[in-house]
Every structure is written in structure tokens, then in C-alpha cells.
């Protein structure tokens, strides 16, 4: 768009392979692409579809964008349904948390699915979580304890009190999956837990 507008005296058309590549939805296309270009006398053309300045061509222009939007929305819906299904089966689909690395494990059909595997920080995470469950330490003191035993974030930095708080609240360490895909209900995960469910529940109570 910037190039077309800055060379508007030399450009008649912006050409896309298909209209669904011009925008992901009709509203954005009409307001942020078509209207902007037309104000400078530039039109959009498709290399593979019948789009022109006739009334039928203009109709097809909008239709092809809407069909692309429908396809994108359908794919997004399918993807979300698939992610919900994987979460309900206990597969972990997010970036790894402290103490774990991501790994692919086979499902019953032998297809690889996302999960977690403990890494070198796992024993330190376990110590921190179990130390808190004793009930005689504040989060500030627990943060200093974590720093003393060498617990580090995924990026190698010292753990802050906020990071330790997230550590304590994460059900993942007790072997669960809990996220928006499970409606924030606890689902038994396929990964190895670092603490027992009892320790996790005690930490939540504390």
C-alpha cells in the first residue's frame, strides 16, 4: 500500500494472486485496502479471478474476499476444535514452563502430539514447590530460596517473586492440563508431574 500510494502516478492496479490474499475479511478490505487505493485512482486486480470495473466484476471482487474470509474462519474454528480435543486428551500445547522442555509423544494411532518432559531445572522446581508446602515460608523468602538453589527462568535469569507466584499456581507441575481449551478445568496430562496433586492443592490453600 505504501509503495502504491507513493508511486500513484505510475500505478494503475495492485495485482494479487487471489482476492483472499488482499485481506482476511471484507470490512478490512473495503476500508483499509480498496477505499485507500481508489482514493488515488488505483484499483485491485486478481491474477486468477474475474475482477474488473464492471458491475459483475465489482460484485465478484467482494464475493471472492468474503469466500476467503469464510475459509479462514472455518480453518480457525477447526483449529480451535482440534486444540480443545488435544487438551481434553491431556496434551500440552503452550510454550514450555520452567522445569520442562516441549516434546512430541505418540498417541494411540502413533501420531506425534505435543507434551512436556522434565529438564535440568525440574529438581529445583520440585524443591521450591515442596518447600512452600511446609507452610512456614513467605513468597518473598521462597523467591530468595529459589535464587540460592540456582533456579532460573527459561531465559537464564533469576526468578522474581511474580514468577515464583506463577510457579506455585501452575497445575501443570502436578501433572494436569488446565487452560481455556479445558474451560480451566483440571484434566490429567500426559506429561510427568514434578509434585503430587496433594502438594499442589496444599500450595493453593496456602
**pLDDT-above-70 percentage for the chain:** 100
Q: Is 11 exposed, middle or buried (0-12, 13-18, 19+ CB in 10 A)?
A: middle
Candidates 115, 98, 78; CA nearest to 164 is 98
Residue 104: helix, strand or coil by DSSP? strand
Q: Between the CA of residue 86 and those of 8, 92, 110, 117, 189, what are the distances in Å?
A: 49, 8, 14, 17, 10
Contacts of 71 (CB under 8 A, 6+ apart): 20
Phi and psi (nearest 5°) for 117? -135, 135
Residue 138: helix, strand or coil by DSSP? coil
Average pLDDT over residues 182-195: 96
Q: What is the pLDDT of residues 46-86, one digit of tens each?
A: 999 888 888 888 898 888 888 888 888 788 778 888 899 99
**Model confidence at 22, in pLDDT bands (50, 70, 90)?**
confident
Average pLDDT over residues 123-137: 96
Cα–Cα distance, 15 to 92 (Å, whole number): 42
Helices (H) and strands (E) in the chain, counts: 8, 6
Cα–Cα distance, 21 to 38 (Å, whole number): 18
Pairing of strands 187-188, 13-16: unpaired
**Model confidence at 25, in pLDDT bands (50, 70, 90)?**
confident
Q: What is the pLDDT of residues 134-152, one digit of tens each?
A: 999 999 999 999 999 999 9
Amino acid at each position: 500500500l505504501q509503495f502504491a500510494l507513493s508511486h500513484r502516478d505510475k500505478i494503475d492496479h495492485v495485482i494479487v494472486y487471489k482476492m483472499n490474499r488482499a485481506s482476511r475479511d471484507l470490512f478490512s478490505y473495503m476500508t483499509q485496502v480498496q477505499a485507500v487505493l481508489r482514493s488515488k485512482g488505483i484499483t485491485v486486480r486478481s491474477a486468477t479471478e474475474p475482477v474488473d470495473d464492471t458491475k459483475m466484476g465489482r460484485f465478484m471482487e467482494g464475493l471472492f474476499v468474503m469466500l476467503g474470509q469464510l475459509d479462514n474462519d472455518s480453518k480457525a474454528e477447526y483449529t480451535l476444535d482440534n486444540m480443545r480435543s488435544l487438551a481434553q486428551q491431556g496434551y500440552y500445547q503452550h510454550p514450555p514452563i520452567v522445569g520442562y522442555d516441549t516434546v512430541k509423544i505418540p498417541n494411540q494411532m502413533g501420531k506425534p502430539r505435543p507434551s512436556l518432559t522434565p529438564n535440568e531445572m525440574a529438581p529445583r522446581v520440585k524443591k521450591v514447590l515442596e518447600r512452600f508446602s511446609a507452610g512456614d515460608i513467605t513468597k518473598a523468602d521462597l523467591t530468595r530460596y529459589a535464587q540460592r538453589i540456582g533456579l532460573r527462568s527459561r531465559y537464564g535469569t533469576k526468578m522474581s517473586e511474580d514468577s515464583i507466584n506463577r510457579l506455585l499456581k501452575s497445575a501443570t507441575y502436578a501433572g494436569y492440563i488446565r487452560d481455556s481449551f479445558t474451560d480451566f478445568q483440571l484434566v490429567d496430562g500426559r506429561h510427568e508431574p514434578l509434585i503430587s496433586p496433594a502438594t499442589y492443592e496444599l500450595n493453593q490453600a496456602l
